[in-house]
Structure 1
Amino acid sequence: MDSCSETIQQKLSQALGNLEKQSLEPQLSGLEQFERIQQQSEHLLMSLDSSLRTVFRPRARFIKAITIRSPKV
């Protein structure tokens, strides 16, 4: 779990760095800014989804295995 947190923190730091870098670039049109932010958001969400799947998929399998083995009351 700690490595997942570190990965997420690194990605957020990179995203913030990219946003700071963009603020130093010449001004883009509103639509261009929106599209760039949207692309970055989609990338971060996909990365977060992948991280969460990595963390929770084994737990879900474990819970499923336990419920299958446990006797019905």
Structure 2
Amino acid sequence: MLSKTTDDATPTATPSWQEQALCAQTGPEFFFPEPGGSVNEAKQLCLACEGRTACLEYALANDERFGVWGGLSEKERLRLRRR
């Protein structure tokens, strides 16, 4: 899980959805695969997660450009932002 910091490098509170998210039970490599790697399994796990919507909103609000967030890949989030 990624944690956000303020300008003075003080960690901010972890959003409650992150603490209970299914991704917290897997390693980050699952959601941040090597270039050319598949994100299908990560997206399937996201579909079963109750925090999926909050995760996607977080990723869009914080301009997360890498990995699977809220069930969407980088390219899918970019297309969503452009709409």
Could you tell me the TM-score, scaled by structure 1's length? 0.28
With a CA cutoff of 8 Å and minimum separation of 6, indicate the structure with the bigger relative contact order.
1
Bigger Rg over Cα: 1
More helix by share: 1
Could you tell me the TM-score, scaled by structure 2's length? 0.26
